[in-house]
Chain A
Amino acid sequence: MNQMNTEEPGVSAAVTLRGLRKTFGEVTAVDDVDLEIRDGEFFAMLGPSGSGKTTVLRMIAGFETPTSGEVRLGDRVVTKLPPFERDVNTVFQDYALFPHMNVLANVEYGLKVKKVGKKERRERALQALRSVRLEGFDGRRPGQLSGGQRQRVALARALVNRPKVLLLDEPLGALDLKLREEMQVELKAIQREVGITFLFVTHDQEEALTMSDRVAVFNAGRIEQVGTPAEVYEKPASAFVAGFVGTSNLIEGEAAQSILGRPGVYSVRPEKLRVETDLDAKLPEGEHSATGTVAEVVYAGAATRFVVDLDAGGRLVALQQNLQSSSMDVLKLREARVRLVWRREHEFAIPGPT
C-alpha cells in the first residue's frame, strides 16, 4: 500500500488505455475502458469471469486487436503492433511452456528469436532461472515439473526478455491453496527485485488485495473502480464492488431509513459488526445498531460468521473473532435475538443505483 490513488506528478505511465473497446460479433467484451498503470506498479485487474479483464490483458499483450481505442506502452502507441514488437511479455494461466523443449530452451526461446548471442543467452537464461529459484532444473522437460515449478519457468521465460511490463493471466489459478499462498509472497518479492511493472488478471479478490499496489475492478466490460486495496475494500464505489470484493452487507431502502435515519444504499463490512446479545444496553457515541434474529451460525475456526435477519428488513453478515467463545457457545446463538453494532465511519454510502 505504498501507492496512493491520487495522481502523483513525476510518475510516468507504463500502460495507458484510452477508450478501449472490443466486440466479438454481437457481444461487447470490453466497453470504453480508460486506465493508467504506473511504472513499477503491481497492478491487479479483478473481476468475475466474462467481465473483460482478460480481454484487456490480451489487447495489451497484442493477442487481440481493439475494435476501437488506443493502447500505449510508455509513450509508444502499440494498438496495431504484433505481440513480439511490444515491450511486454506474458505469463499464461496454463503456463504454455513448449512441451518439446527443455526448461533452458524454453527460457532461451525469446532471446534466440531476437538473435542474442549464445553465450549471453545462456547466461541470462540461467540468471532468470536463478531469480525464480530454479537452479539445476534447466535440463528437464516441462512434463517432468510440478505446477509451481512450471509457473516459475513461465515466469523466467518472460522475465529473461526484460520487458517493460510483465502481464500475468491468472498466474496462480492452477495451483493449490498452499502453493498459491507461497507464490503470492514470492511473486511480490520477484517484482521488487526486478523492479518492472506487473499487471495481473485474477478473479480472486483476496489475491488481488494481498498482492497488488492498486486494483481495477471489472464488471461487464467496464471498470467499476480503480484504487488501492484498502480503498476498494473499505470504500466500494458501487454495489457491485462491495459485493465482489468481500461480502456485500448492504443496508438499503426502508431499512436504511429506519436504522440510519436517511435513504440510500450503505455498506458495512462483516468484520466491522459487533454481535451483542444484550439488546437494551446503551449505545456508545458514534455507533449505529440494528436488531434482528440469527438465521445461521457458521463456525470457521478462527472466527464465526453470523447471518442475521434484520427486523427492519434485509440481512447482514457479521464476522466475529473467536476470542473466548467456543463452537458450543456460538452455536447456541442460532435463532437468538441479537443486536448488531458498528461505528458510523465504517458505513459507506454507495453511489448510483443498486
Chain B
Amino acid sequence: MSTIATPGGPVRRLAGLLYRRPYLRLAGLLSAPLLWLVVAYLGALAALFAAAFWTTDVFTGEVVRQFNLGNFQELWSQGVYRTITLRSVGVAVAVTVVDGVIAFPMAFYMAKIASPRAQRWLVIAVLTPLWASYLVKAYAWRVMFSGTGVLNWVLDPFGIHGPGYGLPATVVTLAYLWLPYMILPLYAGLERLPNSLLDASGDLGARTFRTVIWPVAFPAVIAGSIFTFSLSLGDYITVKIVGGKSQLIGNVVYDNVGAANNLPFAAAVATIPVAVMVIYLVAVRRTGALDNL
C-alpha cells in the first residue's frame, strides 16, 4: 500500500496531471495525428492546388510562381484531356461495379454463411494478395492476357478470342487488384448486420435483399467504392502494363512530372481526379447513404 500512496517519479506525476486535466490528455492524444493530417495531407493538397496556377519557364525550366490560369485553359481547350478524363472515370466506374458484383456475394458468404473458422481463413485468403507486390500481380495478368496466354487457351475452344491488351484488360486487372478493398468493408458491414434481421425479413416477407440487406449494407458498399473508385482513378501503372496503347489521367500526370518536368501542369491535371472524387462524395451524400451510418 505504501508504494501506491507515495507520490512517485515524474511518470506518475505526469499521469496524475493528465488525469486531472482532460484537455491536456486530448491534446496529447491528437496533436501528432492532427499535425500529420494538416501538414502532410492538407498541406500537400494545398501546395498542389497552388502549384496548378503556376507555370514553368520554358527557357530556364524554373517554376514561375505567378498566378496564371493557363494550365486550366489548356486542360479545357484541348479535347484530349476531356477524353482522357471520361475514359478514366469510365474505367473507375467499371472497376467499382465489377468489384461490387464480385465482392458482395463473397462478403455475404464470409459474414453470414461460413463457419467462424472458415471465416478466419477466408479473411486471410482475401488479405493475402495484398502482401504480394502490385507489379507482380499486374504482370501476372499481362501474361494471362497475352495472345498465347491462359485466357485465350481457355476461351479458344469456345471460339472466342480474348480482348488482348487494352481497356478491358485494364479494368479486369484493376478490379482484381482492388477487390480486397471492396470485400473487407462489405464484410465488416454485413457482419454487423444481425442474423435476426434476415430472419425477421424472411418472417415478414420475401424481399430480403432489396429491402433489408441492400439498404443496411449500402454504406459499406459506398465505403468500398470510395476505395476502388479512387484507387482506379489514380492508377497509371496497370494501364501501362496491360493497357496496350491507352492512357489514363495518372499517365498524363506522370509524364508531365517525370519526363517533361512541368510540375505546374501536372498539378493542374492532378486536380481533375480530386474534383471527380469531391463530386462523387457529394453525390453519395445526396443519396443519403451516409445518414444511416
What does the 1/0 interface line of A88-107 toward B look like (CB < 8 Å)?
11101111111110000000
Centre residue among B196, B201, B202, B211 by max chain A CB count within 10 A: B196
Q: Does A148 contact B (CB under 8 A)?
A: no
Q: Does B205 contact A (CB under 8 A)?
A: yes
The interface residues of chain A lying within 8 Å CB-to-CB of B216 are 98-100
Q: Would B205 and A114 count as touching, CB distance under 8 A? A: yes
Q: Does B204 contact A (CB under 8 A)?
A: yes
Q: Would A96 and B194 count as touching, CB distance under 8 A? A: yes
Q: Would B205 and A109 count as touching, CB distance under 8 A? A: yes
Provide the bound-state CA to CA distance between A89 and B200, in Å. 9
How many A residues face the partner with a CB closer than 8 A?
27
Given A100-B216, A100-B292, A109-B211, the answer on whether A63 and B204 have CB atoms closer than 8 Å is: no
The interface residues of chain B lying within 8 Å CB-to-CB of A96 are 194, 196-197, 199-200
Q: Would B196 and A92 count as touching, CB distance under 8 A? A: yes
Name the one of A61, A89, A94, A114 contacting B194, with C-beta atoms under 8 angstroms: A94
| CB-nearest residue of chain A to B212 | A98
The interface residues of chain B lying within 8 Å CB-to-CB of A114 are 205
What does the 1/0 interface line of A157-174 toward B look like (CB < 8 Å)?
110010000000000000
What does the 1/0 interface line of A58-89 toward B look like (CB < 8 Å)?
10011100000000000000000011100011
Q: Does B43 contact A (CB under 8 A)?
A: no
Query: Which range contains the number of B residues in contact with the other chain?
Result: 10 to 19
Q: Does B259 contact A (CB under 8 A)?
A: no
Contacts of B216-257 to chain A: CB distance below 8 A:
216
Given A93-B196, A100-B215, the answer on whether A161 and B204 have CB atoms closer than 8 Å is: yes
Name the one of B197, B203, B206 contacting A98, with C-beta atoms under 8 angstroms: B197
Q: Would B199 and A113 count as touching, CB distance under 8 A? A: no
Provide the bound-state CA to CA distance between A73 and B227, in Å. 50
Shortest Cβ gap from A314 to chain B (Å): 43
Provide the bound-state CA to CA distance between A78 and B65, in Å. 79
A contact set with B: CB distance below 8 Å: 58, 61-63, 82-84, 88-90, 92-100, 109-110, 112-114, 157-158, 161
Q: A84-B203, A98-B216 are in contact. List 9 more A-B contacts (CB 8 A).
A: A63-B199, A63-B202, A84-B204, A94-B194, A99-B216, A113-B204, A113-B206, A157-B204, A161-B204
The 5 closest A-B pairs by CB, nearest first: A113-B205, A110-B204, A96-B196, A96-B200, A92-B196
Supply 6 A–B pairs (Cβ within 8 Å), ascending by A: A90-B199, A92-B199, A94-B196, A96-B197, A98-B216, A114-B205
